[in-house]
Structure formats: C-alpha cells, structure tokens
Amino acid sequence: MTQYLLSLLVFIPLIASVLILFIPENKTLLFKTITLFVNLLQLALAGLMYIQADATQTGVHDESTFQFVERSNWITLNMGSAGKLSIDYFVGVDGLSIPLVLLSAIVLVIGAISSWSVEKKAKGYFALYLLLSSTIVGCFVALDMFLFYLFFEFMLLPMYFLIGIWGGERREYAAIKFFIYTLVGSVFILIVMIGLYISVIDPSATAMESGLSGNNAITQVQQRVAAGTVESSKLVHTFDMLAMMNVKNYIPGSFLHPASTTSIFGIPARLLAFLLVFIGFAVKLPVVPLHTWLPDAHVEAPTPISVILAGILLKIGAYGFLRIAYSIFPEGGLHYAWLVGLLGVISIIYGACNALAAHDMKRMIAYSSVSHMGFVLIGLASVTAEGVSGAVFQLFSHGVLSALLFLIVGVLYDRTHDKQIENYRGLAGKMPVYTSVVIVAFFASLGLPGFSGFIGELFALTGAFGSAYLPKWMAILSMGGLILGAAYFLWTLQGMFFGTFWVSGGSAWQIQLTDLSAREKLMMVSLAVLGIVFGLFPGLLLDVMESSVAQFVKLVIETNNTANIP
C-alpha cells in the first residue's frame, strides 16, 4: 500500500466527493459520516507516512532521496521543431513536506468534526469539503509544477463556494475578494511557470530522444545541451520542479538560464521571476500589504472553513516559497533577503497592532495569523538551518493553534451569534472547561515556553540573529511582536473571561452559554494536547525535517554562486 500511499491520500477524498453527488440530498448524516471517515483515513495514511519516513533522506532537489515517490508520464505533446512537451504525474515527500501533510490530515479531521452541525445544503457542502481535502494534500506532494499549479488553482473553487454560500452576512464580498486576490497571485506564478517550461529540459527524456543510453546518458545530454549540439526538435521540455533546480538542465541562452544576462525593466530575468513567484505566494500566506482579503474571509467564513483556511491554506503560500521560489531561484532569495525579512518584520508588527485594536474576536485572531506568519518570513529570509527549521516548525505549530483559536470563537458564535469581545465578561465562572482551553490556546499562541509556538519563534529569531543576509535590527524589531502578542491575548483573556459575569445579550445569552459539548471537547482538547506535546518534544518534527532543511540551505547558497547576478 505504501507504494501508492500519496495517491491514496490525494484521490480518496476526490472519489468520495464524486460519490456524494450520487446520494439523495436528504441523507445528511451519511454525508457527514462519509466525510469524517475519509478524513480519518487520510489521517491514518499520513500517520503511516510519518512513522515510516526515513529522516536521513534529504530530498529537496534529489529525486532518489525523496520518499513514497510515484512517477508516470501523464501528457506528452510533440511540437515539431520546438521539441516535446512532457508533463508527469510526479509526487513525493521529504522533510519539508512531511510535517505539512501530517498537519493537513489533522486539521481536516478537526474541520470535518466541526462541520457536524452543518445542515444547510449539506450535500454540496461536504462534496466541496472533500474536494478541498484532495487539493490541499495534492499541493504538498506534487513535484511537477503543472500538477502543483492544478491543485493550487482547484483550491479556489471549493473555498469560494464554501465561504460564499455558508458564510456570514457579507459572505459574497469576502468570497469574491478571496478569489480575485488569489487568482491575481496565481497569474504571476503562471507567467514564471511558462518561462521555466521554455527554459528547462527533462534530461532523461531528452537523452532517450537523442538516442543516448547507459549510466552516463543524462550527463552526456546535459553536456551536449550546454554545448548547443542537441537539435531543438530533440529537446523535451518539462515542468519537473527538481529538474528546474539543476542549472545543468537549462537551455543555453534561454530566458531563465542562471547565466542569462536578460533584463526586464532593468531587473535581471531570474530576479524578476523570483519576485513574481514571491508575490504570487505572498498573497496566499498572506504578507502585508497583500493581506487585506484574509480578515474579511475569516470573519465571514463558517467556523470549519476558518479552521481550514488558517490551519492549512496559509501554509501553502509558505510552502511555495520553500519548494519553488527559493529552491528554483536561490539567487533571488539571497538578493532580496533584506526585502523578505523587512516584509516579515512589517507583517509581525502590523498584524499584532491590528489584533490589539480589534473588537471582533475572529478579526483579532485573523490579524494574529498575519503576525505569526511574519516569523515564517524572517526565518526563511535568514537562509540558516535554525531559521528555516523555525519557519517550518512555525507553520505546523500555527496550523494546530490557529485551528484551535477559531474553534474557540466558533463556540461563542454558535451559541450567541456574536463575536464582539466587549460583549462578554466573566465567562470563566459560567464556562470553566471552555475557559481552560482558551487559556492553553492563548498562552501557547503568545509563545510561552513549553508550548509549540515558542519553538518556532525561537528558532526563527535565532536564525535571523545569526544570518549573514539580515541586519540584526530586523530580528530585534521582530521581538516586539512577542510583546504585542502577549498584550492582545492577555487583554482579551482578562476582558472576556475574568471579573463579574456579564453578557450584552441578557438572560437569553445566559441560558445559551453552556460549557463545551463532548464533540467540542474532542476537537479542542486534541489540538491543545498537540500544542503541548510538540512544545515539550519538538524533536518529533525537527528530527524529520533536519536533513532536508540542511540540504535546502546548502542548495540555496551553493546554487546562488553559479548565477550571473550582479
């Protein structure tokens, strides 16, 4: 089964989504049961992947050290004198993607349980939810850029409808804003993807087309391509991301060749390509000032979709930085390290200040996500093993904790349909179990030692302080986010949960504000325990990613030295 483990992770939800379409609309309980069962199966498969993963395998750019690899030719098109187009079904995982696949499976199960209360148009909701489950995992395992882009774009469809149909009062506005922002970012990525396709060959397929065979066939064809002695009709162009990371696979004189002197608007082509890809994924993360869709989407989205949005979808933006922007254009990552770091600092401080000023609890948590993703940027921009490890760990930690935070808001909204912070006071006496979970979530999110949030931020800041590419003042300013984070979480905790019990809804709210149900305890306690476990035993993740992170840093620094960047 492990031979096709990743395909099962991706396509079982897709098959289940199609199956739901053939079930009568009144079978609401069956829709929920199928969805939960499929997501639990995904979690079991992801757990098997995590347990069987070999932490010594580096991955990153070497196919032989990726794990659970599946590869087969998908689309081949003969374009005559322009050569051939080749698209593969190519999936695999390494230390950069394994934590995120595991995170996705965990959060998707939580989202499925949270969705148990959905009754409105349940058939459509759960079909779309399963489609979303498929595309999310697909993004984290795809190693062909065309395949990645397909999954990346297909996420827009279910998210747009899940927000636009099942969201709050301004759901249409929030859904359209999310769709347009993400689509514009995707166009930037598409432009670069086409440029890479034109510039890069598949050495194995090109060797076969050229009649070369044997152990040295790939080396021979790379040498011939570099010398310009291979006919253009024999070249096999590819979307293989690993091939794009190897400078020997670029066609001499091509637009994005590492030695290219082509400039656009005075910017070297590869640096511009890095910026375009960075912007495309920065929208998804999101990075200030491309973040404005996020608070609206969170405020209007139903609770389970906010859980998925914060817990997983934002991480795909950061994963795009790792797998595509930095790995394919390392010279851009180093050249613009100061810019990436500066945007990280701005996101940390700006997001925290807006969270501090927020009156809507959901908006407060949305802005806290912007702030916490700033630490991912700082860690990544440092291009150090500590910083990148911190960035990946922060992605996992924030995925767990943000899912918990949005469930916390959902508990109040389900009971009172109100999220305003100032409308509640003294909830601890009325809802003691709920308050206990809130305390754990808030202290974990503000970076208290012993919780997972502390580990990611510590490593990211350590990397930033030790980086040769970032000034020390950036790391120092970033620490201000920790202080502001403590301020808005503790202010909310003090204002809402302590003191004399009072709610603006009067006696009606007092009756409705019951403590956590068994279903809510299952979801929230599970996430809280994960936040504690990974805080006390960070090696559970750090050991898995160690070899890949070291290889990633080595790839970025060494490949940069071959590029023709002034």
Three-class secondary structure assignment of 537-548 = CCHHHHHHHHHH
DSSP code of 420?
B
User: 171: closest CA among 291, 296, 283?
Assistant: 296
SS3 75: strand
User: 78: closest CA among 265, 235, 269?
Assistant: 235
- How wide is the angle at C-alpha 457 spanned by C-alphas 455 and 459, nearest 5°? 65
Which pLDDT does position 259 carry in this prediction? 80
User: 270: closest CA among 196, 381, 206?
Assistant: 196
Spatial separation of the C-alpha atoms in residues 174 and 343, rounded to whole Å: 24
| Phi/psi at 92 (5° precision) | 180, 165
Query: What proportions of the chain, in percent to the nearest 5, are helix, strand and coil?
Result: 70, 5, 20
444, two tokens: 């974990």
312, two tokens: 């997983």
Which pLDDT does position 566 carry in this prediction? 45
Read out DSSP for 375-407? HHHHHHHHTSHHHHHHHHHHHHHHHHHHHHHHH
Spatial separation of the C-alpha atoms in residues 336 and 325, rounded to whole Å: 11
Spatial neighbors of 396 by CB under 8 A, at least 6 apart, are 99, 100, 102, 103, 452, 456, 534, 541
Q: How many CB atoms lie within 10 A of CB 500?
A: 7
Provide block-wise average pLDDT over 10 residues at a time, the chain (566 residues). Answer: 87 95 91 95 96 90 92 87 86 95 96 91 94 96 95 92 88 90 93 92 85 81 82 86 91 84 85 95 91 87 91 92 94 93 95 93 92 94 94 95 94 90 92 94 92 93 92 93 92 91 88 91 95 94 94 86 51
Which pLDDT does position 207 carry in this prediction? 85
Q: In the chain, where are the structural domains located? A: 5-196+267-562
Q: Containing H/E element for 163? A: helix 156-166
